[in-house]
Structures are given as C-alpha cells and as structure tokens.
Amino acid sequence: MTASVSGSPQLPGAVLPTEVTSFVGRRQERADLRQRLGRFRLVTLVGVGGVGKTRLALRTAAEVRGEFPDGVWFVELAQLRDPDLLPHQLAATLGCSPPADRTVLNTLLGHLRERRLLLVLDNCEHLADACADLVDSLLRGCPRLRVLATSRESLRVESECTYLVAPFSVPERSSIEKQGESGGDAATLFLDRARAVRSGVDLTRDDRDAIGDICRLVDGIPLAIELAAVRLRALSPAEILRLLHEGGGVLRHDGRRMPDRRRTLRGCIDWSFDLCTGAEQRLWARLSVFAGGFELDAVEGVCHGSGLPEPVVDLILSLVDKSILMPEPGSGKARFRLLEMLRQYGYEKLRESGEDTAMRRAHRDWFLELATRAEGGLLGTDRRQWLRRLRRDHANLQRAMAYSAEAHDHAQGRTLARSLHYYWVADGRFDEGRTWLARFQHVDDGTALDRLQALHAAGWLATLQGDAVASAAILREGAQLAASSDDVSAAALITQLDGMEALYTGQSVATEHLELALERFRQVGDVDRQLETLAMLTVAAALGPAPAAAGRYHAECGAMAVRRREPALRLYTAWPYALAVWRSGDAEAAVSSARDALSFAASRSDRLSLALCLETIAWIEAGRGRHVTAAVLLGAADRLWSRMGTSTAAFPALFRFRSDCEADCLRSLGDGPFEAARAHGAELTPTEACSRALGQPEEGTPPGVASGIADRGPLSDAGLTRREREVVGLLALGRTNREIATELRIAPRTAESHVHQVLSKLGFHSRAKVTVWLADQLGGASRTTAS
C-alpha cells in the first residue's frame, strides 16, 4: 500500500489489522457501505456494543482500498481517554509529528490536504465531541479525504451519513441444517467459531435447535454468539442455553490479549452504560420492565412522575442515538425495543435501585388501562387498529398479567384477562385466554359481576374450542353467581352464554335463550352485548328450519349501526346472513353477501371471522359447481383453524355443512385433485386466500401455471393448442370464463369459445372433469419421468 502521493515508504499503522478469525456474512451491508463511501465523505457505523461494527468497517475498508492511492489508515481509539490527545494519536498513526512551530491540527491539515486516503476511526463514542470537532476540521480543509468511523452514537457532523449496523437475523426454530448454511449468518457464525475450538463438531437435531435458541436469546449479537460458541470446548449447546437462561456469566472469553471491555459481553454493556448520563441510565433501567417493544405513550405512561429531569421523549431519542434502544420499523408509530441482553442488564440496575416492584406495578396498571380502552374499541370501526396494537404489545400484556399473578393481585389480573375477551376471540388465542382466566377466576375477591364477566369470557373460549365439559362447568358456576346477584347484566351474561353453548352444539333452545339475553341487554342499554347476541341469533336462524328469519336480526343490526353512525357494524351479522340466504336457495346473493363479510373481516384483521367466511364461501362455491375453488378455500380455512387450536368439528351445527362440502368436492374431483387443491389452499397467506374467495386471481400464480402446463408433453399429445392448454390450466384452478378472459387478456366471448373447444376436444361435458383429467395426465407424466 502506498503511504503518500510522493511515494514515501509505507509507514507503521498504514496496514489494516489482520483478521484472525474468518469473516461471516454482512454481504448486503458491505455493498451498502461501499456505495455510501462513494457518495459521502463521512460514514459512521453505529450500533450496540458487540454488534460487529469494527469487523464490518475493516472488511469494507479492505474492499475499497484500491480506490485510495494514499492508503487506508486505521486509528483505534478505545484505549485513548484524554480527548486532547486525539489529534496527537492521529498524527502518530499517519507519521506526521508536528514541528515545534506548528499546531497538531495545522500539521494534519497540511499533511492530508492533497492526499486521497481513507481514515478508519474505530470506537469514537467516548470521545464523540472531540472526534466530531477534529473530523469536521479535516473534512473542510482536505477535499480528497474520506472518513469511515465506528461509534455507538453518530458524530453529528454536517453531511455525515449514519449507517445502523443491526444484529444478525436469527433463524427460525429447527431451520439450521447440519452445516448451518440455511440457518442464516447467526447460526453460521456460531458453527464457524465452534469448529475453531472443537474439531469434528457433529450436531444432532436437538443441538441445532439449541443453537437456534441461543442465537435468538442473544438477539443475534455477533460478540455474544462468539462468546457462547467458545463454551463448546466443554459444554453442549443445550447446557450453554440453560446457563444463558440463568444469567449471562457464561458469555465470557478467557483470551489473554482481548481488551477488557470485549472479554465479556457484560464488560461491553458496562462500557455503554458508563457512557450514558444519569438520567439516561435511570430510564434504561426503567424501560427494562417492558417485554418486547414499546411505544412512546406507554413509556410516558409508565414512567410518568418518576422524577426524570428531562422529557422522556428527549431521553428516548438520546438512547436511540447511543444504540441502546433499537427503533422497530413497520408499526406505523414510533416503537422501540431493548435487545434482550440490554434489558436483562437494565433490570439488574432497576433491582439494585429498589424500584423494580413499583415500576412493574406501574407497567401493569398502564397496560390494564390500555386493555380496558381496547375492549370498547374492538367492537367499533377502529377494531383493526386496536387488534394491531394489542398484537404488537402482546408480550407486554403477558408480562402485566404475570405480575398480577406473582403479586397475588388476582382481581386486577382477572380484570385485565377478561378485558381482552374480544382480542382472545378475534385473534384465535383460545388456549392462552383460557389459561390466564383460569389462573385468576377461582379466587373469591371482587364483585359477583366482575367474576361473572371473567367466567363469561372463559365460557366463550371453551365453547369455541368445542370443550363441552368445561363449558358445562362454567355454566354451572356462572348460574350460581348470577343467582346471588340482583344485577340484570349478570343474568343476561349467563343467559347469553347458555344460548351460545346450545347454538354451537345444535340444541333447539338456543334461540329462546338468546332472545331472553337480548331483551335483558336492551334493559340495561348494553349495545355491544346486543350486537354480540344479534350475531348469534342470526346464526341460530340461519341454521334453523326457517333461515329467512335471519333477515330480521340482520336488519336490526343494520339499524343499530345507523344509530351509532358506524356503518361498518351492519356487517356484524353478514356472515350468518349469507349462510341463511344460501340455505334459502339464492346462491348468487349469498356469495355476494359472504364476500362483503369477508372483506369486512379482513379489514378488521379478525382471524375467527376470516375462517368462518372462508368456510361459508367454500360451501356456497361447491354448490355452484366450483369444486376446485371450494377445496382451496377449505384448505385456507383449515390453516386458520389449526392456528387457533380448533376446527369446524367443534361446532356440530356447522360441521354438517363442512362434511357435505367435502363429500361433494370428492365426488366431483376425486381424492388426488381434491387433496392437491386443499394443500394449495393451506399454503396461501390470509391475503391470498381472501383474494381467491373474492374471485380475484392469485397474484403471479395463474400465468405461471398456465404457461407451465402449456409446455407439458401429455397436453400437446391431446391435440390442444398452446392457448387451449393455458385455458386447461386455468380451468383446473376453478376460473370462470370471465376470469380466464381477464388473466389471458382476451375477450370474454373468445374465452368462452376456447372453453367450449377444450371440452369438445377432450369429450367432457363438465369443467370439473378437466381438473380430474389434468391431474391424471400430469401425474402419469411424473411417474414416467421418475421411472
């Protein structure tokens, strides 16, 4: 490497430090940094301690070395404590000590003014102000100079480009192959360092699972992964994981020549903590009560009145700048999180201060208030926003309920768990909701109505899972509580629950109980419970001998929506009303109504309603002869049911329609094509499934299917033209003539003609027969190829 323009010999410090271990991953980051160094004169890599900023900077500097004829110069600042010595350190590295009549800064400016070189300033955080002043002066006076810096916070120099170095992405459980290639950079790094300390590493499936858990537990921080991998000298991955759960002491390196602050992850975090102000340290500790991420309103609510000398938002932004807090993208609101190791460290500091109990109580109280507000919002037009918020804060809600259990504050815990009733139902979290409610409901504190509301929520969840034994026990306990109370609301809740249980188990008394509950809710003016009960009455009518009666309940729900000025609520009963219309014989009107209900459910992110709507549209489509579409939608619904821990089998009154639909599809398609279509549906995302149910093409699928089928030999042997083979592929996916015309960009009459020609050539009178024939042809071709 050339040290100067004049060709002076290479000087000490001009050579980048040699990498003593292999470099893993960061391909995209290196490409990004090379591009930024071409555009900006100062690029600062920021990130939490141990994330690999130095290694990434060194590797990037090595890759761009050819673009700097005067060299790439590395200046390590971690051991420098006096900011006044910074210019001297740089001058010594560059080999340009100042003469007695010049200042160090002037000497540096004179030395660098005409040179084209790259300075790599490593570990600037503890000298941030001094580094900012020096770099700013050098960049202004040396037009060909570029600087690549690493720091835990930006230097805030004009025209600085700040680049956040994130931890490695962590693998999904059980995704690590034996050699680690598919486990992502985190697993690859662990295995690479493991083989350096223990040759012949041969991992079992349990070992691979443990490695994935280790990578997740340390949030993909490279230093933590390396320190954990070193322990494979004596421990198994499972033992390392256990010790990590017990505390971070296992993350220690015994390397004699390693800097103290990097010898343990703890030392690395201590370094970051010491760089924070007292107020920042206190907020860091208090933020450790959160689980997962958190938003500004939660931080302000939990930390309100905690004696912080500065506004919380200013301290939050400062902790982001210092790479303590990580912004979480994609939520639509400012949201942050502490990496798990930083959270554990902060909680140690919180316990040392004696504030842990008070802060956890404040955390619980704030999320109880959030859940209470959400309970009302989940039945309004803001349902989607509330569901998203509760999903984002799911871990915090769990932590709040856990505190209530640990503190034996069962009344508050019960209120929190039952306030999430609509969340448990809409999101399909039946098991979890029942678990939390059971933890609090058998303690004799609180009012009878409060306890009954919790029982009511538990009864809903048990009924939706088809747990008849639990439902009966809850009904008995609820009836005893209601009998001891004069509150009409208490009697209405247990009557509604009785009606719901009768409805889904197919008992004829369902309507009678639900009508009585509706009347009682009207007496007390509980509009939300009236909406619930109207929906169940619509289902009861749709399943009964006179399905047209469902129209009365559907109309009443619509009128209530008008009075509340929330038009979307008219769709509250749309799913069962579609079922009633279908049973009354109008399939076209039924599918239109069911699609409205599906759009409404999708817009509100309601998983239970999505599953019910997909099921209903599948039943209707099978009746319309669209058996492939019906089978696909059954598979999509099955995927949702499975995630919720239930199925239509839990609802005998509905299961008969599912059974009839499956039998009809099997008769039309045969076992193979039916299972293939259902398996395809099970692979669809909810958005893709909704598109299919709404009659929209699956984005990207049909052209590929059509063109792929068009090129298959067995179909050309049948005497079909290429266009006709494309039509066959779309017919097999259940497309109508109009959909075929849209996807192939031809006129509807042309599509109709092609379909007629295909059926004529193949000798079929039914479109469904095309699906069966196609599966047989392609299956036979596959068997021939295999043999």
Sequence-ordered list of residues with C-beta below 8 angstroms from that of 185, at least 6 positions apart, any chain: 24, 25, 26, 168, 169
Q: Is 438 left (phi over 0), alpha (psi -120 to 50) or beta?
A: alpha
Sign of the Cα torsion 506, 512, 513, 517 reads: positive
- Greatest mean pLDDT among 85-89, 202-206, 441-445, 518-522: 518-522
Among 133-137, 324-328, 415-419, 548-552, the least confident range? 324-328
Contact indicator for 306, 289 with CB cutoff of 8 Å:
no
Q: In percent, how much of the chain has pLDDT > 70?
A: 83
Q: Is 499 helix (H, G, I), strand (E, B) or coil?
A: helix
- Structure pTM? 0.72
Check whether 253 has a pLDDT greater than 60.
no
The C-alpha torsion from 74 through 78 and 81 to 85, rounded to 10°, is 0
User: What is the structure's pLDDT at 20?
Assistant: 60
Give DSSP secondary structure letters for 204-264: -HHHHHHHHHHHHHTTT-HHHHHHHHHGGGT--HHHHHHHHHH-GGG-B---TTS-HHHHB
Ramachandran area for residue 466 (φ above 0: left; ψ -120 to 50: alpha; else beta): left
Any idea what the Cα angle at residue 529 is, between residues 380 and 525, rounded to 5°?
Answer: 100
Q: What is the pLDDT of residues 374-433, one digit of tens each?
A: 988 887 777 778 888 999 999 899 999 999 999 988 889 999 999 998 899 888 888 889
For the chain, what's the residue count? 787
Please state the rounded mean pLDDT for residues 701-716: 42
Is the model's pLDDT at 312 over the cut of 70? yes
- Is a pLDDT exceeding 90 seen at residue 361? yes
Q: How far apart are CA 103 and CA 330, in angstroms?
A: 50
> Taking 60 as the threshold, does the pLDDT of residue 329 lie above it?
yes
Section 758-772 average pLDDT: 71
Give dist(CA 731, CA 768) in Å, integer.
Answer: 8
- Residue 96 confidence (pLDDT) above 50: yes
* CB neighbour list of residue 611: distance below 8 Å, 6 or more residues apart: 428, 637, 640, 641, 644
Using left for φ > 0, alpha for ψ between -120 and 50, and beta otherwise, residue 72 falls in beta
Amino acid (one-letter) located at 383:
R
**Most confident of the following: 7-21, 298-312, 375-389, 531-545:** 531-545
pLDDT of residue 246: 66
More confidently predicted of 179 and 590: 590
| Predicted pLDDT at 71 | 87
Q: Supply 781's token pair.
A: 């071709």
Position 786 scores a pLDDT of 40
* Ramachandran angles phi, psi of 578, nearest 5°: -60, -40
Distance, in Å, from the CA atom of 40 to the CA atom of 333, rounded to the nearest integer, reads: 30
Tens of pLDDT, residue by residue over 256-309, are 444 554 456 677 788 788 888 888 899 999 999 998 789 989 998 898 766 677
Residue 271's contacts (CB-CB under 8 Å, 6 or more residues apart) are 49, 261
Q: Please check whether residue 617 is in contact with residue 693, taking contact to mean a CB–CB distance below 8 angstroms.
A: yes
Percent of the chain past pLDDT 90, that is, above it, reads: 16
Q: Is 409 exposed, middle or buried (0-12, 13-18, 19+ CB in 10 A)?
A: middle
Give the β-pairing of 325-327 and 42-46: unpaired
The pLDDT value given to residue 270: 81
**Cα 743–747–750 angle (5° rounding)?**
100
At residue 48 the predicted structure's pLDDT band, cuts being 50, 70 and 90, is: confident
Token duo for residue 207: 């070992």
Of 75 and 701, the one with more pLDDT: 75
Q: Is 704 exposed, middle or buried, given 0-12, 13-18 or 19+ CB atoms closer than 10 A?
A: exposed
User: What CA–CA distance (Å, rounded) separates 370 from 299?
Assistant: 13
Give the Cα separation of 733 and 629 in Å (integer). Answer: 7
What's the pLDDT at 404? 92
Query: How does the average pLDDT of the chain come out, rounded?
Result: 80
pLDDT band (50, 70, 90) for residue 680: confident
Rounded CA-CA distance 256/101 in Å is 43
pLDDT over threshold 90, residue 519: yes
pLDDT at residue 115 above 80?
Answer: yes
Q: Give 543-587 pLDDT, tens digit per residue.
A: 888 888 899 988 888 888 778 776 556 667 888 889 999 999 888
The residue with tokens 């749309």 is 574
Residue 650's nearest CA partner among 455, 511, 470, 478 is 470
Q: How confident is the model at residue 478 (pLDDT cuts 50, 70, 90)?
A: confident
- Measured CA to CA, the distance from residue 535 to residue 111 in angstroms comes to 81
**Is the pLDDT assigned to residue 526 strictly greater than 50?**
yes
Mean pLDDT check: name the lowest of 90-99, 127-136, 144-153, 449-458. 90-99
Predicted local confidence at residue 93, as pLDDT = 85
Long-range CB contacts for residues 204-211, cutoff 8 Å, separation at least 24: 205/174, 206/237, 206/238, 207/236, 207/237, 207/238, 208/174, 208/176, 208/177, 208/178, 208/183, 209/173, 209/174, 209/176, 210/236, 210/237, 210/238, 210/240, 210/241, 211/176, 211/183, 211/187, 211/237
294 and 394 in contact (C-beta within 8 Å)? no
Q: Which residues of 503-523 are buried (b: 16+ CB within 10 A; e: fewer)?
A: bbbebeebbebbbbbbebbee
Would you report the helix, strand and coil content of the chain in percent, each value rounded to 5?
65, 5, 30
Q: 10 Å Cβ neighbour count for 723?
A: 16
Rounded to 10 deg, the angle between the 767-786 and 748-762 helix axes is 60
Q: Checking DSSP bridges between strand 325-327 and strand 335-338, what pairing results, if any?
A: antiparallel
Q: How confident is the model at residue 201, as a pLDDT?
A: 59
Q: Residue 131 burial (CB < 10 Å; 0-12/13-18/19+)? A: buried
Instruction: Of 735, 751, 728, 725, give the one whose Cα is nearest residue 632.
Output: 735
**161-164 and 42-46: which strand pairing?**
parallel
| Residues near 499 by beta carbon (within 8 Å), at least 6 away in sequence | 509, 510, 511, 512, 513, 514, 516, 517, 533, 536, 540
Token pair 């109309």 is found at 555
**Beta-bridge mates of residue 337:** 293, 326
- Distance between CA 142 and CA 110 in Å, rounded? 9
Sign of CA dihedral 68, 70, 72, 75: negative
Supply the pLDDT for residue 332: 65
Overall average pLDDT of the 586-596 stretch: 88
Q: Is 200:185 a contact under the CB 8 Å cutoff? A: no
Say how far apart CA 181 and CA 185 lie, in whole Å. 8
